[in-house]
Amino acid sequence: MRNAQKLLAPVLETLGARGYVAPARWAARAAEEVGTVDNSHRAPASVIEVPSRLLMGPGPANAHPRILAAQTLPLLGHMHPPFLKIMDELSEGLRYTFQTKSKYTLMVSGTGHAGMEAAIANLVEPGDKVVVGNAGIWGERVAILSRRYQADVVEIKVPAGQTFSYDALKQTLLEHKPAVLFLCQGESSTGTHQSLAGLGDLCRQTGTLLLVDTVCSLGGVPLFADQWGVDCIYSGSQKCLSGPPGASPFFMSDRAMEKLQRRKTPPATYNLDMNLIGDYWGWFGKRSYHHTAPVSTFYAMREALSLVSEEGLEAMWARHQELHHRLWDGLRSMGLKPFVEKDEDRLITVNTIKVPEGVDWAALVKNAMDTYSLEIAGGLGPTVGKIWRVGIMGFNAKPQNVDLVLDAFRDGLKRQGKL
């Protein structure tokens, strides 16, 4: 006791010098030994400095200045009516972006991985059969995640750079009649764009829910949730929507909600239980506290969806398509070739480029960063060492940015004696 009081004395003296009176309860805590503060890991007492980079890889992309500015607005309480109004505006903006009339839209508090887990956790019960289309790393991760939620996973695969045909998917669905079919619309590890044509009707024939990953495609390529019969979608904030990482756009159809409501067991996650999160977002006619939403990130995404509405989806899709063609016109003039062979399978938002024989892909990437402050990425998962990946997404989808990417490729190839 005496030793604790001795150690506490400097603290009390400092408080007294500043005019504070130590609370009486401190005397009761005198038995707690107060040691000397260890300053060896004290954080820098300075303003953060961040270098400027043009992020033309697979994401995150650079955020729109208006979106960044929204994050500086004053914080609101996560249950304050003005903030709930912003949440309502987010839901409405998502309905436009997803092209749905479903009221079951919201932003999951977390990145696209949180959206992925929310979809699996809510749609899949232990023992449910889930067909996972594995065309790259994101299908692979959904298969892993589904197994962790005790699903009976049927994993179908195609070689990197290819997509699933309607006939192959039809055969699999008719054979297995799964509870859920997962497909990735834009597979960023390989640069493929999976067609969803006719799959909604097919899934209804087999009693299957259609789950789609749109993390790097939402806002960059056409998507019609209702018209195409999609039942659940998750996406990302930091790609074509030009926001900061930290929010996952999320959608459920009435069919998906019916599955959630008739579960025999509750979702094995409290944090991502859509019964609870949906109640916070007003899905069921009231507002109940579930968690503290990332207030500033939601401000940013409100502005992001406002910008989508101002430009219009048709114009936004056309802009991404035009810049995709501009990129490939330039790359082909250097003798570079796409990794994805078929035009109809090629993703326009994350472009994958074959690394020619004898070229050091990493040296070209490093030169782009060192010389141009420009991010170009290498492969991921099944494509490591085989490709470069160039993102054309959201605010970054501009002619001058594509031209800078082409300059960096031209310079990088010249330095290696390949042009």
The annotation places the binding site for substrate at 389
Q: Round to whole Å and give the CA distance between 185 and 192.
A: 8
Q: Which long-range contacts (CB under 8 A, 24 or more apart) does 407-410 make?
A: 407/372, 408/364, 408/367, 408/368, 408/371, 408/372, 408/374, 408/376, 409/330, 409/331, 409/334, 409/336, 409/364, 409/368, 409/376, 410/334
SS3 state of residue 132 = strand
Annotated binding site: which residue ranges?
389
Q: Are 112 and 235 in contact (CB under 8 A)?
A: yes
Q: In sequence order, which residues have a C-beta less than 8 Å from that of residue 51 and are 6 or more positions away?
A: 373
Closest CA to 194 of 143, 243, 171, 228: 228
DSSP string for 84-109: HHHHHHHHHHHHHHHT---S-EEEEE
Range 299-336 burial, b when 16+ CB lie within 10 A, else e: bbbbbbbbbbeeeebeebbebbbebbebbbebbeebeb
Q: Are 95 and 102 in contact (CB under 8 A)?
A: yes
Q: Cα-flanking dihedrals φ and ψ of residue 216, to 5°?
A: -105, 15
Q: Round to whole Å and give the CA distance between 355 and 338.
A: 9
